[in-house]
Every structure is written in C-alpha cells, then in structure tokens.
Chain A
Amino acid sequence: MLLDAVIIILRETLEAGVLVSLLLTIAHRFHLGARWLLFALATGLVGAGVYAASLATVSTWFDDVGQEVINAAMQYGIYLSLLAISLLISLVATAKRRYLGGFLMLTVVLAVVREGAEITVFFTGYLQNEDVLSRALTGGFVGLMLGLSAGALCYYVIVSLSPTMERRIQHVMLALMAAGMVGQATQLLIQADWLPSTMPLWDTGGWLSERSVAGEIAYAIFGYEATPTPVEVGFYSVALALIPLSVLLCRHFGFNARQEV
C-alpha cells in the first residue's frame, strides 16, 4: 500500500511538477512573482475536489465515456493555453504581462484539476480504514516530495542557464509538453471510441520501455508513447508544428512588438 501510494502520487505529480516548474521559470523571467501560482494551486485543488466528487455522474455522460471526454477537453485546453504562452513570450511587449499571468494560471488550474482528481479518488477509497489511509497518506507524501524535487531541480537548472539558452529551452519544452498533452488527449478519445482506433504505427517499447524510469520521464516531458496509432501521431505532429509556425506567422504579419525584459 505504501509503495503503491508512492508510485501513484509520484507519477501524477512528476508531469505536473515539471510543467509548473517550467511555467515558474517563465514567470521569473517576466517578473510575475509567485502569488499567481498560489492562487492557481488553490483554485485547482478546489476544482479537483469538485471533479472527484462528481466523477460518478461525469463517468455516465456520453454513453459512459464522460471521463475520457472531459479529461481530453482539459488536456486540449492545456495545449491551447501553452500555445498562447508561447506566443505571448515571443511576441508581446511587457505591457501585456497580465495576459501571460492569466494563461499561466489557467494552465496550472487545468493540470491540478486533472491530476488532483485522480489522487483524491485514490485516497477517498481508504476513508473508512484509518490505518490504511494513514499509510497511504505517508506514501503519498513521499511521492509528492519526490515529484516536487524533480520540479525544483528542473526549475533551478533552467534559471541557471544563460538568458539565450533559457529562452530556447523554455520554447522547446513548452512545445514538447503541449504536444504531449495533445497526444494523451487524443489517446483518451480513441479509448472512448470517438476517434478511430487502428494498429500502432511502430513499437519502440524494446528501445525505451514506458515502464522504465526514463520512459516515465520521457512521458512527463513530451508525452512519450511506445506504440502510437496513426491518428495520435498525426494529431501530435500537427500540435507540435503549430507552435513554432504560429510564432513565425505572427512575427511575419507584424506582431513583433517584443521587448527585452
């Protein structure tokens, strides 16, 4: 039980931890402080509680695939929000910082609702048994600390880089994490039978197993999937290409009002 809880919480918080740390480095570069994060975390946790409490109802929506559809919608939402952040940090003058803050908050709220609801459901299963619950919470705390440590490491590595390298890493990671969200969401819609399911295009499981630590990290950073279907590869590629393309297009059409900050 203890180990189960460590692994579950670590897996859920690893991806969110890396994402939040990346957003914090952007907030740091644009002098946005950290108050937005506290507000977003609090809103996200309340949202996660509400979502977990409504999961029985949500699960019955759309012929019993409501859970997949709502989770996919949240992940597509995170993608759009990360796309907006990419555009704002590339093109917009410092006067538009409040929009950037808004999208940073939206991303964190959606990520926390998505991952937090699952953790909440896991713990509510043990409310009747205090002994097991306390062991699960201890394991969960260890998992949370490990996830947060990974996020903190990621944050300090990025902010310690030279300004040019920091910007590049932020752009690349935003694009990869955003595309990873689209990959996961698309897989959920295939699971729900809303998108066509076919044989996988390839299998890289022998080279990098999804069960391995490296596989889990690759999943957290760019949504690594060993056996993707053509639909997933298509959605992922378009989502990934769309981010640098939108930045280039906006620059081309004269939105290049970027000021050094």
Chain B
Amino acid sequence: MKPRSRCGLVLLLCVMSSGLLAETPVVRIDIRDHLFYPAEVLVPANTKVKLLVTNLDPTPEEFESYELNREKVILGNSRAIIFIGPLAPGEYPFFGEFNMSTAQGTVIAK
C-alpha cells in the first residue's frame, strides 16, 4: 500500500471512529398545561440532536414542525424520542398540533 493511501485509510478510520464515539446530544422538552418548557430550545448547529419530549399532561399532543420536517404523537403522561438535524444556524418553529393556540416553541440552532 502506498504511503498516501495508507494515510487516507488512517484518516478514514479516525473519522469513522469519531463518528461512532460521538454521542448524539440529548435535549429535553416538557409539555405542561399545553405549553412547551422551554419554549426556546437551544441546540448545536450542524449536529444531529435527540429530543426527549415528555408530555406531563393527561391529554395527548402531537409534536409538529414544518421547518424541522417532524411529526409525532405523544400520548398523555408519556415521553417520546425525536431525532432532529443536522441544522444550519437559525430558528425553527415547532408546535403542538392538538393545542395549536398555546403549544408553540422554537428550536434555535447556534
């Protein structure tokens, strides 16, 4: 194997292992009284993030966002996992479809 291609192989292995080792950041959001807490969710830009959404209300909710391309029903008193990103820096509104008038929030990627 030529030194140049060996170098490339080492680099590839490093990238692969760093990808395997890098933990997906977890961000928690609560739903309480048909509101999101926090309503502004800070996430790192250009990184995949795992949202852990806990619905503390007894009624179901649907987490939805046109900008994040996400949609998931979260039953009352239960939690859900939603993967988002990687996102370019910016603001991405989301809402609870079952209670649109109150359940509003924004993911801010920085």
Please report A residues at the B interface, Cβ cutoff 8 Å. 3-4, 7-8, 55-56, 59, 63-65, 67-68, 118, 121-122, 124-126, 128, 187, 190-193, 197-199, 205, 209-211, 225-227
Contact = CB atoms under 8 A, between A and B. Distances in A.
A4 B100 contact: yes
B91 interface: no
B78 A197 contact: no
Nearest to B24: A193
Interface residues of B, number: 31
A65 B73 CA distance: 11
B98 A122 contact: yes
B80 interface: yes
Contacts of A121: 60, 73, 75
B72 A68 contact: yes
A219 B51 CA distance: 25
B18 interface: no
B17 interface: no
B86 A64 contact: no
B20 to A, nearest CB: 14
A197 B81 contact: no
Interface of B: 46, 48, 50, 58-60, 62, 66-67, 69-73, 75-76, 78-86, 88, 97-101
Contact of B80 (A8, A59, A205): A59
Contact of B60 (A124, A190, A199, A227): A124
16 contacts: A4-B97, A4-B98, A7-B100, A55-B73, A64-B79, A67-B73, A122-B60, A125-B76, A126-B59, A191-B70, A191-B71, A192-B83, A199-B86, A199-B88, A227-B67, A227-B69
A63 B101 CA distance: 31
B24 to A, nearest CB: 8
Given A4-B99, A64-B81, 13 more contacts: A55-B75, A56-B78, A59-B75, A125-B59, A125-B76, A126-B59, A128-B58, A187-B69, A190-B83, A191-B70, A197-B83, A209-B66, A226-B66
B86 A197 contact: yes
Given A121-B60, A187-B69, A59 B85 contact: no
8 closest residue pairs by CB, A with B: A125-B59, A210-B66, A193-B83, A64-B81, A125-B60, A121-B60, A4-B100, A56-B75
Contact of B81 (A56, A65, A118, A199): A65
A124 B48 CA distance: 33
